[in-house]
Chain A
């Protein structure tokens, strides 16, 4: 065989091998990361027997492994950040106090408290009085309340901190809303976001009818996570079979009517978020969590690292 023909032969052989391995890699990837139609149908059937209706789309991906995040910082770095964002800071035992358009106190575990004046009522004081109503359709309020929140929480200054340079930007979004019966105050519950991911850091603000923040407290990370950690998250199927066990028990309770049992529950939302854990060495971990919300409002969350239901 001439050298020219040998090249053509080599190209043909290599092409076939490439094609074979290409298809094999594709199939293997599909096998590892996605369930087959048959498996999906089988899982849906099993869940359906327990009264859980789950759309195919939710079952497509076998395993999603969002990264975890970590941040380690000391008291000095927190002090510098608070000083940079809120101005003069005084250390008061375990807490840092800054007076800047109100009184801010930052304590352990990302806890904070804000009062526009010393005698401002805190959110729980207003909620405990009982003369409040929940507003469920709060879209029309969101913009105004979030503007007030951004101002008092100094979201832009926090994102601009040199210590947060390597971190994804933070924001907060309205999650729950209550209004006093006299319409004087809104108690707004916000969740902190890191990038597009919701976190378990939550805080409440009392905002008056004019859009001024009166007080607030809760947890909020000033120093955002900068270190990305690989994770080996639990399989979605493991979580769904845990849900199946729950559903079997739930629908076997006498309190459930025959109609409820017949209709079952439909999974209306499935999303990922982060729970914040504080390690003894001062590090803050953002651990991925999967959240399942059913048609009746029942909500379940699982830690994606150990698969334990919260």
Chain B
């Protein structure tokens, strides 16, 4: 069964149909690629799934239940995490703090951790234990990305590639079941992309399902088991990489486009 799937999801902006009755599904513990030319509606689809945008019509299911019109913070809490195409880090905060925020709703105490301000005011005893817990977990994720050494740097001072990694680390700190990566390799050089490929595969071995939007075809064809292709908001193909590579409609969609 699919971990997450959409049912004729549709989104229009004014007269423009950004997502046109798309059925998109993600198998549990897979790496799924979402590709298509610019403006095909990929990010819009991500935004709808993660609660940042609401669809015009259609439905959206996660673990068998409809999660239509769920607020973004609830989406995060039920195990769906994401990164952003234009990196959205907490720029003036340190690398460590960025990841600690990922632990925000994973407090240690069953009652006091539910509402973080109880803890700030009252939970004198739990406060330290909780902070310790969050700290250690955040450090674990920083080590996963070999970033423990720069934990006190401000996020904005990291090089571009590291910022992308930090964004992934931050999302993983929420302990998601499914992780959506929006163009994770954008702006990376070939060796960074290579490292990213390994990282994504490592993430999957942790039991996290990965969905990614990417223009780097080498990366997509190498690590995705399943690919969905969008063009002008419509799903034009889906299947294994080899299946997609031979699909005439996909080739047509990409033709005329310079080096996509």
Q: Answer yes or no: do A and B interact.
A: no
A residues near B, CB below 8 A? none
B residues near A, CB below 8 A? none
